[in-house]
Amino acid sequence: MNAAASHPRDVLLGAQAAAGALPVCDHYSGVEPRMRKSLQLQQEMAREFGHCVFDVTLDCEDGAPVGAERQHAELVARLAREAAPGARVAARVHTVDHPAFAADIDIIAGQAGERLCHVMLPKVESVDDVLRAEQALQAAGASALPLHALIESPAAVHRAFEIAAHPRIQSLSFGLMDFVSAHGGAIPAAGMSSQGQFEHPLVVRAKLEIAAACHAHGKVPAHCVVTEFSDTAALQAAAGRAAREFGYTRMWSIHPAQIRPILAAFAPQQQEVERAARIIAAAVAADWAPISAEGVLHDRASYRYFWQVLERAHHTGQALPAAARAWFQAAATMASPH
């Protein structure tokens, strides 16, 4: 086997490798000073950790002033073009039925598509919305740009598996507040709180459906925001539950103070990281044949799990054992620049 073909990511994850490579935090900002500060912070933390640990999504849907949507799209395109090499910059455009949608795609994807890591589509109701966005991207010359979809209604939750199956979709996000308000008062306001969203049955069902749809199709489930952005304990508790109990591997941030707590909540324990590195190293030495480690049999099924532990540790900026560092350095060398 050659070096590239024998990399654990390719051997164990196959077609899911690209989706699993997303950072665990997606940070949103829509006002020019905050967008610029977010991009600056991304670079500062990339230098600290040695690689980019969160995406910056420049927001048109909530960020563009009414009547100035085109100017805001031009600003987003300019900021994306001016972003530092290696930056991961995305854009949330208006909904596909909004008058500004076509211009958003034409300006942002047309002028800065090569600098974007993805485009976020809000309020996706069906695959038809994805197809419409895909056609717009093709017309703008950005036919390879991944799409992320924000699921915000009961009908969209019902179609989550179909939406996740579309090959252009890389990730599904859950839009908590719109989902709750779409129920006409049937879900109380507590269902939008950092704690209540994990307790109301309809909200819990929606979270699980979206996560299950993503995992069924090798896509990334992204958890919703915690609006109590000044309550670090609430954020950490919500992020921890999203990661451990609901199967989410990514989460939105709406304030810079939320980024590090999200990274910490989604990070595996150091003891687990060290165990994963030992098992994967032994698997590589055995050319991926079954092995016995600490009295336990391991094969490709458990190898896949332990490699994903190492992926998560890397994406959350944790220190890795020497052998694992070599694998991620090799992957970074082979990756094409954005």
Give the pLDDT score at 7: 82
Shared domain for 262 and 273, answered yes or no, is: no
pTM higher than 0.85: yes
Give the pLDDT score at 14: 62
Number of domains in the chain: 2
Span of 8-12, 66-70, 190-194 with lowest mean pLDDT: 8-12
Instruction: Note the pLDDT tens digit of each residue in 240-252.
Output: 999 999 999 999 9
Domain around 66: 23-266
Shared domain for 233 and 273, answered yes or no, is: no
Evaluate if residue 16 carries a pLDDT over 70. no
Residue 27 located in a structural domain: yes
Shared domain for 142 and 258, answered yes or no, is: yes
Q: What is the CATH number of the domain that holds 62?
A: 3.20.20.60
Residue 241 located in a structural domain: yes
Q: How many Cβ atoms are within 10 Å of 167's Cβ, its own excluded?
A: 10
Q: Where are the alpha helices (DSSP H) in 83-216?
A: 101-104, 110-112, 127-139, 154-158, 160-165, 176-181, 201-216
Shared domain for 260 and 310, answered yes or no, is: no
Q: Which residues pair with 130 in a beta bridge?
A: none
The DSSP secondary structure of 245-314, one letter per residue, reads TS---EEEESSGGGHHHHHHHHSPPHHHHHHHHHHHHHHHHTTT--EEETTEEE-HHHHHHHHHHHHHHH
